[in-house]
Every structure is written in C-alpha cells, then in structure tokens.
Structure 1
Amino acid sequence: MAVSAERLPEPVRNAWTSVSDVGGKLQGHPLSWIAPAALFLLVFRLYPLVEAVRMSFTDMSLIRPSYQYVGLDSYVSVLSSPAFWTMGRVTLLFVAASVVLQLAFGMVLALAIDYGVKEKLRGSVSTRVAVLSAWVIPGIVIGILWKIMLIETNYGVVNYLLLQAGLDVVSFLSDPQMALLSTIAANTWRGTAFSMIMLYAGLQQVPTHLYDAAKVDGARALQRFRYVTLPQIKPVVFINLVLITIYTLNTFDMIMSLTGGGPGNATEVLALFMYFEGFNRFNLGQAAAVAVLMLLVNVVMTAIYMRIFIEEEEF
C-alpha cells in the first residue's frame, strides 16, 4: 500500500523531497542521457584499448600463466622481424588498392543511383538493394562465397565460365599475385556498398540551384562534377575515406576464410599476422604490440586525411 509523502516524518519527508529534486534535475540534464553511451564506450571500447596497450609492454603468453613487464621488448621484436615488414608491404598494397577502388566504384554507383532517382528511372531501388546485400553479409560468408567462385577447377564459377569461353583455368588462389588481387577484388565488392551509401547521402545535400547555375554558365557534366559536386561533398568524402581505411586495415575475417593468408604469406595482412601471433604462436604481448602499431597507423592516416581535406578556417 502506497504511503503519502505528507504522512511521513518530517526528516524523512525532507530527505525524500531533496532526492526528488536531485532526480528531477538529473533527468533534465544532458549528462543523464550521455551517461549510458559513455559507460558503454568506457567498458567495451576504452578498457580493451588500455588493456591492449598494457599487454604490449609484457611478455604475456597463452601457454604461461605468469608474465612480466618487458618494456619495449615486444615492439623491438615485432619491428625487427622480417615477416612484419613483409606483411606491412602486403597490407599497404591491399589497403591502398581497396580504398581507391571502393571510393571510385562507390562514387560511380552513387552518381548513377542519384541520377536514376532524379530522372525516375526504373531499377533504382533494386540496384540499391543489390549493392547493399554485399554490405550486410558477414565477412566470413563473403570469403567463403568468393572462395567457391574462384576454385581452380571446372567446378569454380569463374573458371567454369572461362573454360566455356575457351580460356584456360586461372590460379586465383594458388598464385601469390592472383591471390592478392582476388582478396582486393573481394574486399572492394564488400566495401563499395558502404562508400555508395555515404556518398549518395552527401549528394542529396548538394543544392539543385548550383547545378542549374553551372548549366547556364555552360559547364559540362565533368566540369559540374569537379567544380560543384566534389567541393560540396568534400566533408563526406573525408569521413568515408577515414572509415573505409580503418575498416580495410582491420580486415581479418574475409581474408581468413578466403585464403587464410596464403599461398605462403602472399595475402597475410597485419590483422591476420596479429591473429596468428597471438593464437597460433601464443605471443599475446607481441600480438598486442602489433595491434597498437596498427592503431598508430590509423591515427596517422586520419591526420593525413585531415591535412588534405580540412582547410584552415579563414578569419
């Protein structure tokens, strides 16, 4: 049975009133709405990050219960390993090619869909659905699908079509160079959808009267794209570049199921190297050091993008 506040003893009633006042103030304060998200980021983002940095200064291993702090020894061991620099070169090629292709194809698709929507052409919705299907499929599944398509027998979809066209079977996964190209193609197919979404959203913010004015001035399609579209969507391109660079650099699941890093180490990127270092060779300290180095690369790349895309404010 509920008890009225007026029937409570005066000290209890005063304390209740004070608590109610504080609760009312907190409910209207922005902190009460930010706190859940901040707590989530603190527990699931910041703590793992701090823990990874701490582990990178230890000799922690999966096969030893105890560990010691060894300073920068883990970083020295990783950076002095020839395998690390080999993986670095592979990662650089993989990331650079994937990012450029994702941005280019995403831009083409975004422009095509934007044109189709404005002209009310049929197929705009189905095209968006088809492209987005690649984005929602998990990376493990994408790697398996591409592996099935690129099997180096007549049972593989791509090689079957090549045989039907009178061509020879291509070693998509056993040849080092072709394996790297195959992973780039699969990752581009996977990530183009995200770029298309971002860039298409940016295109919706471009004022129509700017295109009309450019047409009146005699600007052609490429000139309108260069001098009207690109400057207007520059912030969106910046955000898109940062995100797809981070996602591509951290790509692990798709390559694991597609090539497993092979043949040899031809497709073993740093994210996969970090996994093998921690769970195949049980060197958690060195795996954490690789993770921290990858974080630093992401920060440096973001700073470079900011330098390129974000101009200083004019006063």
Structure 2
Amino acid sequence: MSVNTGFLPEPISNAFAAVTGSFERLQNTPVTWIAPAAFFLLIFRLYPLFEAVRMSFTNMSLTQTGYEYIGLQSYLNTLSSPAFWTMGRVTVLFVSASVILQLVCGFILALAIDYGVKEKLRGSVTTRVAVLSAWVIPGIVIGILWKIMLIETNYGVVNYLLVQLGFDVVSFLSDPQMALLSTIIANTWRGTAFSMIMLYAGLQQVPTHLYDAAKVDGAKAFQRFRYVTLPHIKPVVFINLVLITIYTLNTFDLIMSLTGGGPGQATEVLALFMYFEGFNRFNLGDAAAVAVLMLLVNIVMTAIYMHFFIDEEAM
C-alpha cells in the first residue's frame, strides 16, 4: 500500500515513507499475528500464574491487608496437613477412575460412530449430537442435573427407576463411597464426549487399505484394532490422555454443585480443597501453595505420558 506524500516537505516525506515501509514489513511477519495471542496469554495466563507462585511464598490472607514473605512455610503447612493427604487420596481415585472410563467409553463410541459412518447406518449423526450435548453444557449445570436425578427419595429419577425394578432407594449422595462413585460417573458422562471427538478424528487418519490388507491376511477385528488402529492413533491417544488428565485433576464446578465435597470430605478433591482453603478459611498463601502443587502434578503426569508414548515411538 503506497501513500502519496508529495505535498509534504522532503524530510517529513522520507520519515513517513520509512515508517510506512516498516509497518508494511511488520504486517508480513508472523509477529503481527502472534502478538494478540501472546498478549492474551501474558495478561490472562502467565501473569496469574506468576502471582500464584508469588503468593505461595507469603502468608497472604483475605481478612488481612498486609502480608509477609515466609519462604516455603505455606508448602510445609499444606504438606503437613492430614486433610491434604486425605484430599490427595480422593483425588487419585477420582482422576484415575474418570480418566480410564473416559478413555474407554470414548474409544467405544468413536469406534461405533466410525463404523456407523462407514457402513452408512442410521443414527450416527444423532449419536454424535447426543454425546456432544454433554460436553457443551457447563459443569455447574451438569452437577445440578445429576443432583436432581440422584435425589435420595422415590421422586429422584434414578431411585424411582430402581424402586420400579424392585430395588431399595440408594443413598447416592449421602453415603461416602456412593457419593464418590456418583461424581466419577457424572464426570465420565461429561468428559467422554471430548475423548470421542479426539479419537474419532484420529480414526479418520487411518488408511482404509490397511484394514483391507489385514482382512486379506486373515486378521480378526481385535487384531486389526491392535496392530493397525492403535499404532496409527497413538499420538492422538497421548494428547487425549494428557488433556483429560489435566481437565479431570482440575475439576471443580461439577463437584461443587453436585456434592460440595461431601458427605464430610468424601468427594473433596484438591481443586475443591484449594477453593475452601482460600475462600472459606481465608488462607490465600496456603491456597496458592496447593495450586502450585497441582501445577507440578500436571507437569509430572505429562512428563510420564511423554516418556511412555513419545520415547517408545522414537525407539
């Protein structure tokens, strides 16, 4: 784009032309397109992360204006708290069961939809829409919906069906074990859609002629899945596994609206423990320490997945 600068004095015209040329060259570089995203990440991601790490070294409180830097004391307070390790065990059970179920259910749905599309069966589009509807609903709403369905009287949807089948009313939310199982099932119902999308996209990248060759060689369905499908979608499985682990570890809204961490502390995962530490007990420094510890767990889990998936492929 050229600008007519003939009416300007020569020094000003040359300076203006130089600025215009620099701007045009800048437009043709990746910096122009990366800058908005980088600015967004800096302000809304990296700065809060820096502040959380900084706060974890203080005794900051919601009820006091001043604070002091106390080094690693917040981490020591957190790690020496019996409640933290109780939350840790609950979190491990919740994350492990949810991730496994989301991956397995997502795989089954992805394979079923892929088969239905290839065979042009009816209902494949309806199935995808039904599964995706769980993914787009906010977690707080999903928790409320499941809480309504699991009401512990004959009027609860699930208990009503159980009573009609001859069973007794089940204490889904007041019994500690059943409450944890209920949160796992609800979280699996929400997260399966994401795994299905990722894995279905991966299945589209597997060449059809490989399946045809495997059938000619006499490979059964499980053998085709093991030796053809899995090796080709392993990178997708890796990315999916990392993402659903991070999402599940940081689950807060669904549990908050479904059980509130109860009964007692049976479903109080680390994300909920961090919230209560900061906004119920007003210990912002300790809450920030929990947040940093959760970040380190996310990094460690990602490193472990990378070791088992990427290193194996490099061999």
Partner of 2:101: 101
Give the whole-Å Cα distance in 2 for the aligned partners of 1:272 and 1:314.
39
Partner of 2:58: 58
Partner of 1:218: 218
Partner of 2:26: 26
Give identity over the alignment, percent: 82
Partner of 1:145: 145
- 1:231-267 deviations in whole A, cap 9, x for unaligned? 0000000000000000000000000000000000000
Mark the CA change 1:124 to 1:314 in structure 2 (over 3 Å): closer, same or farther: closer
1:47 partner amino acid: Y
Partner of 1:155: 155
Deviation of 1:230 (Å): 0.4
Give the whole-Å Cα distance in 2 for the aligned partners of 1:313 and 1:173.
44
Deviation of 1:268 (Å): 0.1
Deviation of 1:218 (Å): 0.5
1:178 partner amino acid: M
Give the whole-Å Cα distance in 2 for the aligned partners of 1:158 and 1:33.
51
Mark the CA change 1:258 to 1:312 in structure 2 (over 3 Å): closer, same or farther: closer
Partner of 2:289: 289
TM-score (norm 2): 0.98
5 Å-filtered alignment, 1:3-82, equals 4-82=4-82
Deviation of 1:166 (Å): 1.2
Give the whole-Å Cα distance in 2 for the aligned partners of 1:61 and 1:104.
43
Give the whole-Å Cα distance in 2 for the aligned partners of 1:14 and 1:312.
59
> Which ranges of 4 or more aligned residues in structure 1 deviate by more than 2 Å?
311-315
Secondary structure at 1:264's aligned position in 2?
coil
- 1:59-105 deviations in whole A, cap 9, x for unaligned? 00000000000000000000000000000000000000000000000
TM-score (norm 1): 0.98
Does residue 203 (structure 1) correspond to residue 200 (structure 2)? The answer is: no
Give the whole-Å Cα distance in 2 for the aligned partners of 1:87 and 1:150.
23
Give the whole-Å Cα distance in 2 for the aligned partners of 1:229 and 1:314.
19
Deviation of 1:311 (Å): 2.5
Partner of 1:169: 169
Deviation of 1:204 (Å): 0.3
5 Å-filtered alignment, 1:123-272, equals 123-272=123-272
Partner of 1:276: 276
| Unmatched 5+ stretches in structure 1 | none
- 1:25-58 deviations in whole A, cap 9, x for unaligned? 1000111111111111111110000000000000
Give the whole-Å Cα distance in 1 for the aligned partners of 2:263 and 2:14.
75
1:294 partner amino acid: M
- 1:137-177 deviations in whole A, cap 9, x for unaligned? 00000000000000000110000011111110000000000
Secondary structure at 1:310's aligned position in 2?
helix
